[in-house]
Structure 1
């Protein structure tokens, strides 16, 4: 047998070691013979090889000749893969394999031992040589697999362990060593899964194998919440689950969570709801959010009302959303929401946006989207979905959307909650791990920055919210909650700059008209745009319907603020009657994308509840500055403020 090692490495000394230290090292090695259970024959062969190397390295002439030989081999072997080796007699090969293992070459020792166990070199059954070779196989296999695992070659390590286990099972030797190999192989399972599912998405076979291994790992534990596997402690399993999700696509996640939920896992059911929500929001598919709401509601878990409020909001169901939030949010959560905005709908939008950004949307391999409510509600599919709901309500049907087809549900791209990347083995790579805990529906105050979430309750992580308070938070809702019925057309505007004396009644909502798209509109065109906005505003706050397309009159923030006021009045059973007439209108500044107007108004308002006057009519003359902006090719009211 030829060993891929030289005398220096076999003995464990450097080329600079003198003869005296060579002999000292020899004595130390002889005294520290392995005690794993090798036969005396193997230990003697090991000692003979150590003494032979020491003889060469302690004799000046033999050492000089040997070093010259090594130098020649090194020069010849450059680029040709030639390396120094030692020829070992068959009677000494057991000692050579032991020394390879001690020299930190376990893979070479394993491969050589496997070769010695194969015909025609196979030892006699039950012989001491067979026992020694099997023991070297087991020890070398475990050491080599550990090296590969340290290099993150998890699948190669698993294959090596499987190979060693198969050989020992075939030989019927070393039951304790076989059990250790089997335990090592199982302990490697999470790392194998990680290594396989982190492959590129084009590596379909490897990724499918990784998902199968993940299923077997969870099954062995007794489910997502199970603890039947003592080789994988709870904290390690939780850290693994956190990390593995980062490499899974939405479809892979939905397949897993849905199966585990059907098996009775409450955590998987809750995560499936998050997955549906993330996918529905990212891909603008409200039917998936509706499915998430149905599953969450059916789970009957305590404290889920604020989450249901968010799902209602994303479905354009404002009143159910507000009711769910008001009934389910605790005092601390409500106090936080009130700090974000004055308007109740704006508060809910702030909460929903933060919930999406922190708990729902992060952690998907194939989903990258911001928690932009305005962009979501501006999507045509979302608008169509909400319109269909409105038509069902108008016909007296329930607002519940029809259940999705099972085949569509099975193929839907779902998503999953936020996960922090951790190094394999649990923790952050330094042994520090934060266990996996299914998101608890128990809600409390926003967590402080850097505060660790308790295991029993999962408070909302709402620190660092980068949301604008007020109407801008829910501006996108205006894109889908449009008035439907018609109203009388607006009377032609005065061209004299003075309001007609006969105009004492509230403005009627204008009929739909083409948006103002002129690159340089006249003063009268801009004035008409403002009058249409004032008329639509008056009609909406009084509870009269309007076909005026508010989205073509003003920017989303103003439209949303107006609709919020109207919804608040409706919820209280009130109407606000407004009369606003333009007395003077003068353009004071203009550019290709911005127009400013100085406007004087006769303004009065009265608030009523049916026939009862809640706030008597008040009148005033106002002077405001109105700013119009060109969004794309359309001019819209962008802002206004009182002239000081």
Structure 2
């Protein structure tokens, strides 16, 4: 037999060790017996091989020749590997040394080969006993190494091979029991290994899903505690991790099956997965299934969540009734701070719920909580209109115009139901091993890290602009969504906010309109605002610089270099997009914008909200310089959000407050 190892590794010495070091290592290895179950013959063969290697390495001439051979093998680019030829009588001892030398997988494969016909030893002989013991020990050690490399499925495959070998021989019951226990302990890691693979690896993912179902069944269900080797706290941590590797459809299917078996937690999780799928894929029918499932559950404290589902289905009147009857006073106060309009309050709460609890945690889902895009989708519009016609909803007149919103309070839970099903399974996978956070609050999003990064700390907090024609019911939601801009904290930067709406252009004049009266001169500057706590005058100068640059660009000027020093990517991209659109039509714009008043409605270390009154007019010119449209002078009221990035303040978003 050829052992795939050299004399240095077999003895366990460095190639630079001298003769004294070799002899000391030899004595240490002889004194340490690897396992008490081997026969004296195998232990003697092991000792003889160790001494033979030490003799060679202590002989100067023989060692020099051997090292030359190793050097020659190294020059073959790995096509040849060193090996030691050993006699048949010393095979088991050699395999034992191979395992001790850090090559348990090779030792296991060679031992398994020796136990197969025609090399199989005589049944009941000492050689068979030693080979089966060696196969079991090397199998466990090889699996341990694979675990350390996080190759959990390969470790399980090795353990299964070892079990089959020992079961066939009917040997080593203690080792078989240890292997079975290791296999059971590996199951969660195998699930993670298999489900974390690419979605194209269909067979592996199906095996992972099957193992997950076996794991849950062994526990006695999602809320069960029937697996002594997998306590609830560990299972919850595992479940947090596993959700992010499952697609939304896999979660719908799994949780629905578990819910059919009586799991309340799975029933609630299926509701959330159906909502995520319906919202992201623009399939209101799935949201209707989620609403029906939540209604059938008969749980207390879910009225605010039902309100969100009714809202997403265009059932605004029912949503308002659910929210009014079930929301806590804290949640109602927060919603009132978002808008005086009841539908605006529902939109604020629904978008926050989507970003916190519904859309995160799916392998194949990357969706923004954008109600505008959702209610603009033709399938959603068709569903709402169809349901309106089928149910014959009565549309009511609009509520009173909304007043400016109050500042949002600190985060709070949207509902508090002790022991609410699925609470322990619903948090993001961020808990430390051995711990498990409670159900995250579904109140307003915050910026706990306060890092000032783009799109993290500047959610818009203005009310929904009032519309005198706003209706209740499905049509109301469709109209409202067009005015509701959702800006919530996301792991990926959300799309830039829409530009502030411009007033409707006046009728085309018979001749070129006279140039508007010029306002006070505003010098174009890209000097960033670096004051830690700027006052209103400093913020006004920064905004004036932005408005001047915007006017120059829309008039056909180039985008200045370094514009990102005073504005974030969203506003800059919107300006560039508007200019490209005008250029494609062969047009330019002449804006006249003057700030008549500016106040700071919010001033913090990382975020400033300014409310500005503007005198505004514009002209649109074609390629020949002929005026094609004009907007007469009028007063606008806009809100501007500034975020601090590092030491500089930059414009982050704009919203019309008219």
Give TM-score scaled by structure 2 length. 0.65
Counterpart of 1:26 in structure 2 is 26
**SS of the residue 1:597 aligns to:** strand
**SS of the residue 1:230 aligns to:** coil
Equivalents in 1 of 2:619, 2:473: separation in Å?
A: 31
Give 1:258-297 correspondences, 5 Å limit. 258-297=256-295
Larger-gyration structure (1/2): 1
Query: Kindly tell me: are residues 311 and 481 of structure 1, through their superposed partners in 2, closer, same or farther at Cα, counting changes over 3 Å?
Result: closer
Equivalents in 1 of 2:656, 2:218: separation in Å?
A: 62
Aligned residues of 2:191 and 2:211 also touching (Cα < 8 A): yes
CA shift, 1:10, in A, is 0.7
Counterpart of 2:211 in structure 1 is 213
> 1:379-424 deviations in whole A, cap 9, x for unaligned?
222222222232234389xxxxxxxxxxxxxxxxxxxx977457xx
Aligned residues of 2:11 and 2:54 also touching (Cα < 8 A): yes
Does the alignment pair 1:190 with 2:191? Answer: no
Query: Kindly tell me: are residues 73 and 38 of structure 1, through their superposed partners in 2, closer, same or farther at Cα, counting changes over 3 Å?
Result: same
Does the alignment pair 1:522 with 2:508? Answer: yes
Query: Kindly tell me: are residues 297 and 91 of structure 1, through their superposed partners in 2, closer, same or farther at Cα, counting changes over 3 Å?
Result: same
Query: Kindly tell me: are residues 472 and 13 of structure 1, through their superposed partners in 2, closer, same or farther at Cα, counting changes over 3 Å?
Result: farther
CA shift, 1:151, in A, is 2.2
Counterpart of 2:642 in structure 1 is none
Give 1:124-273 correspondences, 5 Å limit. 124-273=122-271
Query: Kindly tell me: are residues 25 and 352 of structure 1, through their superposed partners in 2, closer, same or farther at Cα, counting changes over 3 Å?
Result: same
Give 1:211-610 correspondences, 5 Å limit. 211-394=209-392, 420=428, 432=433, 434-435=435-436, 439=439, 466-471=459-464, 481-482=474-475, 521-522=507-508, 589-591=618-620, 595-597=630-632
Does the alignment pair 1:55 with 2:84? Answer: no
Equivalents in 1 of 2:466, 2:365: separation in Å?
A: 23
Report the more deviating stretch, 366-375 or 351-360. Answer: 366-375
Query: Kindly tell me: are residues 474 and 384 of structure 1, through their superposed partners in 2, closer, same or farther at Cα, counting changes over 3 Å?
Result: farther
CA shift, 1:332, in A, is 2.2
Equivalents in 1 of 2:63, 2:294: separation in Å?
A: 78
Equivalents in 2 of 1:71, 1:97: separation in Å?
A: 25
Counterpart of 1:69 in structure 2 is 69
Counterpart of 1:43 in structure 2 is 43
Query: Kindly tell me: are residues 24 and 254 of structure 1, through their superposed partners in 2, closer, same or farther at Cα, counting changes over 3 Å?
Result: same
Equivalents in 2 of 1:277, 1:394: separation in Å?
A: 25
Counterpart of 2:567 in structure 1 is none
Equivalents in 2 of 1:19, 1:224: separation in Å?
A: 62
Equivalents in 1 of 2:6, 2:657: separation in Å?
A: 87
Equivalents in 1 of 2:469, 2:284: separation in Å?
A: 15
**SS of the residue 1:188 aligns to:** helix
CA shift, 1:184, in A, is 1.4
Query: Kindly tell me: are residues 444 and 363 of structure 1, through their superposed partners in 2, closer, same or farther at Cα, counting changes over 3 Å?
Result: closer
**SS of the residue 1:367 aligns to:** coil
Query: Kindly tell me: are residues 479 and 521 of structure 1, through their superposed partners in 2, closer, same or farther at Cα, counting changes over 3 Å?
Result: farther
Count of aligned residue pairs for this structure pair: 472
**SS of the residue 1:240 aligns to:** helix
Give 1:48-127 correspondences, 5 Å limit. 48-75=48-75, 78-79=76-77, 81-127=79-125
> 1:313-352 deviations in whole A, cap 9, x for unaligned?
1112222212211221212222322333333322221111
Aligned residues of 2:115 and 2:131 also touching (Cα < 8 A): yes
For structure 1, the 5+ residue unaligned runs are 397-416, 452-462, 484-515, 525-586, 600-623, 628-637
Aligned residues of 2:506 and 2:630 also touching (Cα < 8 A): no
Counterpart of 1:573 in structure 2 is none
Aligned residues of 1:273 and 1:295 also touching (Cα < 8 A): yes
Equivalents in 2 of 1:27, 1:89: separation in Å?
A: 23
For structure 2, the 5+ residue unaligned runs are 395-424, 450-455, 477-501, 511-615, 622-627, 639-654
Aligned residues of 1:353 and 1:372 also touching (Cα < 8 A): yes
